[in-house]
Structure 1
Amino acid sequence: MSATQTAGSQSVVEPAELRRAVLAAAVGSALEYFDFYIYGLASALIFGPLFFAGLGSDTAALFASLATYAVGFCARPIGGIVFGAIGDRRGRKTVLLMTLLLMGTASFLVGCLPTYESIGVAAPILLICLRILQGLGAGAEQAGAMTLVSEFAPRARRGLFAALPYVGIQGGTLLGAGIFAVLSALDQDLVHSWLWRVPFLFSVVLIAVALVIRLKMQESPAFKAMESNRELVKNPVGQVLRTSAPNILRAIGLRIAENGNSSVYLTLVVTFVAGLEAYKGQASIGSAGVALGAGIAMFSVTFFGWLGDRIGRVRTYQIGCTAQLLMALPAFYLISLGHAWLAIMMIGLGFGIAVQAVTGPHCSLLPELFGAPHRLTGVALSREISAVLAGGFAPLIGAVLLSSSDWAWWSIGGYSALLAAISLATTFITPETRGRDLMTVEDAR
């Protein structure tokens, strides 16, 4: 029986297996976003003087530090291609184990690095190398988690279950934001001397927990069906490029608002707040806002995933993009006024509601766009290309806009609105995928 012939007969998964798959995906996702978030904050607040002091000015050091953040995103498409192909040939579980170890080990080693003062130019070189390894590992981590859970989930509730790993993501973000909020309130000489290492070294705990859980999970039903029917393709990268270019472009466009504005609120807004005279001496405001947003997002992301099951993925996406577009300029104007509580609330609502309104439906929409034999490759490739275009360069582009506009609120607000507008336009050429059978080999049209 071919995968096409199994359409309409998607296997029923035992509840225990479904719970184990969701837990395995969520814990690994928590590690990925804990690592990426703490790196993003460290690049905005700490790494400049520690690793790029040789550049001669604080501004140059900041730009160089934010550039290393972008380097990790540049490596992600390569990781997505390599590990996505492995996942389509060897299994989703295999990839999730490999990416977990690579990404977590690289993050732990960042915490062990000597600084520029100790070893000179070798310090930033080593930092960049580890950031690249982080990016390679992250390149298929979330794509693998989304694909695995989507293939396990019951069709009528796929949007809800596919969004559940993002609870782990928000947990990792919340943990990272909480740690940096504490660090921001401590003596900064002590933080820059050694305390900054603690969040990175803590990665080893998350690695151990996630590894134990992932070793116990089962392979996805769709992959097992393809394997038993000998329908695995030898070159999923070639196949996805030949057959799936339209859906890759759609997925990239959809991700611009989700990934781009996620980076705006998680990283760029911290730089914006730290540079405003009104918040001088209140360095923890940005981290507090992100922590609030991550706390809200632990609940809102699953709500919007559920909403996608009720009214459709595309319609829910349009609601989220419109919300981002309407709040972009007002939010950053209000942040610029100098009221700490207002800034924290705007950051929390921007990330916790507006960003999650597109994150929730995208968790199931992207896997549903692609056929089973090349699904993980398609999801990983499109996710990570968009991660470079929108997420990786968002802090760097935003820093340039802020610097050139004398830290004007409208520059960052306009950038956020542009990201939302691109994804909103993409929704009008995206097919509705709710209820699609993931055993089929053809892409959604």
Structure 2
Amino acid sequence: MSDSTASPRMAVRAAFASFVGTTIEWYDFYVYATAASLVLGKLFFPTDADPFVGMMASFAVLAVGFFARPLGGIVFGHFGDRVGRKSALVTTLLIMGSVTFLVGLMPTYDTIGPFAPIALVVLRFIQGLAVGGEWGGAALIAVEHAPEHRKTFFGSFPQIGNSAGALLATGAFSIVSAFGEEALLSWAWRIPFLASAVLVLVGLVIRLRVEESPVFAEALREQDTSNEAPVKEVLRTSWRSVLMGIGALPVAVGGYYIVTTFLLAYATTPEIGVSETVMLNALSAAAFLEIVATLITSWFGDRVGARRIVIGGLIAVAVLAAPQFLVVPSGNVALIVVLLLVMRLGMSGTYGPLPKIMAEMFEPRVRYTGISLSYQIAGAIFGGLAPIACTALLAAFGTPIPVVVLLVAMCLVAIACTAKAKQVDDEPAAIAQRA
């Protein structure tokens, strides 16, 4: 990785801007994910036959956003590797916020019939394009501005934006759900979507104040930019890194939705009967806890190695998978909430150090494209399909045990690939130099 870094002040500003920007982007994304669990199946995919059908349909539209993300990673990765990280990030923020606002204005199935779910799919696809270009740029802005011995910590700021966005999204739905189910289905569900407009304006002001990445600026000065399309060069020279990156990410990008989106839908089914408000409040508390834990684990990552932290988190998730899901049918709310909180502590270790690890897998001239491609393909496979697969497994077997097996298998794959990922921060010499 290049030694080019910005001033300490600009490094802090870049980390903060990446945090605020990704918070807003992920708020937009998770608002839909939360709404998919609670109301969208009833409003846009009504069915009197089986409530699982409506749930599956809303999760399918959730998956559309994930499937669009690799294309967004290619498009904005090309833009970010050729024009600049900052310009790409401003564009993704504007697109994401506009789409979320439009979803809040959408007429439902009762108003315009099948055109409602069609329009929802189109908007969700555009949203996926924008978020596909967001993570790579935000991660690089933070990591490439950071001092060499603080790259894991500073790189975790866009990661806590994920948790903060989830906190805002579930918090928003906790508030509007207090109006009652009738109001929620009638009009209150729109408020979290419409509120995105205010958040985007705040994020835009902050993001415009950040300078371009010093690593990218140096690459431009030295004319060290790709002479061919960045995606073509990545697939030609770094395809192994792309595959290894995808394999390292199933829990970080897919397991998250199993223990949040799917768990919320499962726990609030009539058969289980846990209150939506209880689950939303628990998820909000867990998101806040994860913000703090992500910063702490990433701080340790600069001292003991980012890869060790990630593998430790994956082991914790695998161990907690069975208790987390098998306790839900008991209806013991306190135990469900405690396990949810502890699970998110483990998740923080799998997610926070990733930008540092991923950035070191690719050369600066194609880094935006490389990490975006890895991350977003993993998101499409594991994130997009995880809630659907879990819902289908639950419907087929009537027990969450197959879901537990799936999550543990994802942990094992991620451990194997993370252990082999190309990076240097676990080398003894590097650690000794920082000591």
Which TM class, normalised by the smaller chain length? over 0.9
- Unaligned runs of at least 5 residues, structure 1: 1-6, 437-445
Q: Compute the displacement of 1:365 (Å).
A: 0.6
Q: Secondary structure at the match of 2:330?
A: coil
CA RMSD for the aligned pairs?
A: 1.6
Higher mean C-alpha displacement, 368-377 vs 46-55: 46-55
Instruction: Give the alignment's TM-score, normalised by structure 2.
Output: 0.94
Q: Distance between the aligned counterparts of 1:347 and 1:46, measured in 2?
A: 22
1:428 aligns with 2:422: no
Q: Compute the displacement of 1:213 (Å).
A: 0.9
Q: Distance between the aligned counterparts of 1:335 and 1:347, measured in 2?
A: 10
Q: Compute the displacement of 1:185 (Å).
A: 3.4
Q: Secondary structure at the match of 2:173?
A: helix
2:31 aligned partner: 38
2:194 aligned partner: 201
2:260 aligned partner: 266
Higher mean C-alpha displacement, 156-165 vs 16-25: 16-25
Structure 1 residues 77-156: aligned runs within 5 Å: 77-156=70-149
Which one of 416, 423, 436 corresponds to residue 407 of structure 2? Answer: 416
Higher mean C-alpha displacement, 337-346 vs 117-126: 337-346
Q: Secondary structure at the match of 1:336?
A: helix
Q: Compute the displacement of 1:55 (Å).
A: 7.9
Q: Compute the displacement of 1:278 (Å).
A: 4.2
User: What do the CA deviations read for 1:99-127 (whole angstroms, capped 9, x no partner)?
Assistant: 10111111110000000111111111110
Percent sequence identity is: 35
Q: Which amino acid aligns with 1:434?
A: D
1:443 aligned partner: none
1:299 aligns with 2:279: no
1:440 aligned partner: none
Contact 1:49 1:61 in 2 (8 A): yes
Q: Distance between the aligned counterparts of 2:324 and 2:186, measured in 1?
A: 35
1:362 aligned partner: 354
Contact 2:179 2:188 in 1 (8 A): no
Which one of 14, 21, 24 corresponds to residue 17 of structure 2? Answer: 24
Q: Which amino acid aligns with 2:118?
A: I
Q: Distance between the aligned counterparts of 2:59 and 2:44, measured in 1?
A: 12
1:166 aligns with 2:159: yes
2:430 aligned partner: none
1:340 aligned partner: 333
Q: Compute the displacement of 1:276 (Å).
A: 5.7
- Unaligned runs of at least 5 residues, structure 2: 428-435
User: What do the CA deviations read for 1:149-173 (whole angstroms, capped 9, x no partner)?
Assistant: 1110011111001002223322221
Q: Distance between the aligned counterparts of 1:13 and 1:83, measured in 2?
A: 23
Q: Compute the displacement of 1:412 (Å).
A: 2.2
Q: Compute the displacement of 1:399 (Å).
A: 0.6
Contact 1:336 1:409 in 2 (8 A): no
Instruction: Give the alignment's TM-score, normalised by structure 1.
Output: 0.92
2:388 aligned partner: 396
Change (3 A) 1:186 1:283: same
Higher mean C-alpha displacement, 50-59 vs 201-210: 50-59
Q: Which amino acid aligns with 2:255?
A: N
1:252 aligns with 2:246: yes
Q: Distance between the aligned counterparts of 1:301 and 1:98, measured in 2?
A: 27
Contact 2:166 2:287 in 1 (8 A): yes
Q: Compute the displacement of 1:238 (Å).
A: 0.8
Change (3 A) 1:131 1:97: same
Q: Which amino acid aligns with 2:405?
A: G
Q: Distance between the aligned counterparts of 2:216 and 2:351, measured in 1?
A: 25
Q: Distance between the aligned counterparts of 1:278 and 1:125, measured in 2?
A: 32
Contact 1:276 1:336 in 2 (8 A): no
Q: Distance between the aligned counterparts of 2:384 and 2:290, measured in 1?
A: 21
Q: Which amino acid aligns with 1:146?
A: A
Higher mean C-alpha displacement, 50-59 vs 68-77: 50-59
Q: Which amino acid aligns with 1:354?
A: G
Q: Compute the displacement of 1:334 (Å).
A: 2.2
Question: 4+ runs of 1 displaced by more than 3 Å?
Answer: 54-57
Contact 2:241 2:422 in 1 (8 A): no
Q: Compute the displacement of 1:368 (Å).
A: 1.2
2:181 aligned partner: 188
User: What do the CA deviations read for 1:373-394 (whole angstroms, capped 9, x no partner)?
Assistant: 1000000000000001111111
